Amino acid sequence: MTDWNTKARSQFARPADAALDFCLWPYDRPRAPSDDALRTSALLYKSFETANLGPEMGALTDAIRNAFGRLATVWGMKWGAEGPSWEFYFYDYARDARSHGIGDFLAATKGHLDCKLTPDDTLPYFMFSIEVTPSHLRGAPLDQIDIYMGNPGSTVSSGICYGLTDAGYEMRNFYFFFDAIIEAQQIHDKLTESIHLPQSGLDLRDLLWPEMDGAETIVVANKQKRDGLYFSRIRAAQLAHFLAKLGFPQDLQDFLAAHHDALDHHLYDVGWDFACDRAGVVTPTKGSFYGLI
């Protein structure tokens, strides 16, 4: 069994590390790294330990990093009623002039994941992602790849997600990025104009948590069965609040608390899907947080 805890504690940051969010956009660090500063991959490897994963996941992440470069791939650890999963996001804003595409990913991970999907790398997507569960590491087929394309005409930065399966492509989600300060009214309007929320009885503080004040960007996602909300560029203490509120494994929360100062030089991105009943009671259904490998 891989000693993920030791691997997590050894993910030391370097002065040359870029500060990038979950869109691979640069940001100014909130503080200088401490002498024992860690990369966000420390949290990723700790999440592997909480899920009792074997060396297969390490081999997969190594293959991804070798093919796409260090600190060039975004990871997201997801947690919900169905247990943990990990999504990996691959960006290339050159779109159809990209240097790496889905075909390159499939070639790099051929010995680690069973995927027989046939992607079209001529499409002008700027990002694609794959979601890995423990069953995939045991040989279950990877039966979906998501691609993300632009949404010209939107008044804010926006994207559309399509899922590729054996049946072809289907539309999955729309994402809208808002400046948390100057576009507060647009965030309100986007959230509340939804078939998934009641027209009365809802307290928006149950969605736009006061504890997330200071987030630089709010992302509203319209998904097939429910909506989602993302807080982008928050501090480590806010990440800790998020992990607790969404019920992430306690060992992961404890690791963040123990290494707060070593991880507080990053800004973090988190997201969650939610259900809401007719009385306006909001229930989280799945949460995710992000970093780089």
Instruction: Note whether residue 234 is domain-resident.
Output: no
- pLDDT tens column, 76-108: 999 999 999 999 999 999 998 999 999 999 999
Contact of 8 with 42, CB cutoff 8 Å: yes
- pLDDT tens column, 170-191: 999 999 999 999 999 999 999 9
pLDDT for the residue numbered 154: 79
Instruction: Note whether residue 230 is domain-resident.
Output: no
Instruction: Note whether residue 202 is domain-resident.
Output: no
- Positions in the chain short of pLDDT 70: 1
Residue 224 phi/psi, 5-degree rounding, is -65, -40
- Tokens representing 187? 């965030």
Q: Which domain holds residue 255?
A: 4-179+247-273+287-292
% of the chain surpassing 70 pLDDT: 100
Domains in the chain: how many in total? 1
Instruction: Note whether residue 220 is domain-resident.
Output: no
Contact of 230 with 270, CB cutoff 8 Å: yes
Instruction: Note whether residue 185 is domain-resident.
Output: no
Instruction: Note whether residue 233 is domain-resident.
Output: no
**Looking at this protein, which amino acid is placed at residue 287?**
G
